[in-house]
Amino acid sequence: MSWQTDLPLIAILRGITPEDIPAHLAALLDAGFDAIEIPLNSPDPWRSIRLAVAQCADRALIGAGTVLTPQAVDELAAAGGRLVVTPNTNTAVIRRAAAAGMIVCSGCATATEAFEALEAGAQTLKIFPSSAFGPDYIRALKAVLPPAVPVFAVGGITPDNLADYLRAGCTGAGLGGDLYRAGQSAEVTAQKAQAFVKAYKDTVQ
């Protein structure tokens, strides 16, 4: 299964509570987001994922981040999630998710890790932490990767630097603290989401 969203920006809702899911998801969807990641080190993540699936699985790709074990992949599938995002290159997790027909965005930093992830079945790569490497590193890494493989920049991406990573060859980005921080209002999420969407469209259109 390949990447299947209209907007290649992943909203990372680290720290969100189930109670906050409806309002923040509505804000993100209204802004144009259609890929939502709920990290498993958030409070009660499985309930949040089930709520997100029930609210908008027909409009967005819903999944989990910080997926560290094959068992978590199984639980995500049972909850109705279809996106598996890892912080590292874990071939057991990748194989389990790929076998289940899920989209895998595998964390990696080096060419060795990137090719290990692809060989295990990952369809998408996440360069993490991107801010520590910078766009020039990603441009160099992209030169040896299969051109059709989507690469996402994650870690330290802002509306101001998003264009630098897109021009370096990234398909899109995963957006964490500069989009959502636990406890912020849905109105703030909406404003930040709109800023990211504008930055993306201004670069690619």
CB 80 within 8 A of CB 101: no
* Residue 37 annotated in active site: yes
- Residue 205's pLDDT band (cuts 50, 70, 90): confident
- Place domain 9-204 in its CATH homologous superfamily: Aldolase class I (3.20.20.70)
Q: What pLDDT digit, counting tens, does each position of 80-97 carry?
A: 999 999 999 999 999 999
| Amino acid code (one letter) for 115 | F
Measure CA 170 to chain center: 13
**pLDDT score, position 4:** 73
Chain segment 138-185, per-residue pLDDT in tens: 999 999 999 999 999 999 999 999 999 999 999 999 999 999 999 999
* Widest distance between CA atoms in the chain: 44
| C-alpha separations of 180 from 35, 134, 200 in Å | 14, 22, 17
- pTM for the complete prediction? 0.97
Q: Which of 19, 75, 126, 192 is catalytic?
A: 126
Active-site residue (options: 37, 116, 187, 192): 37
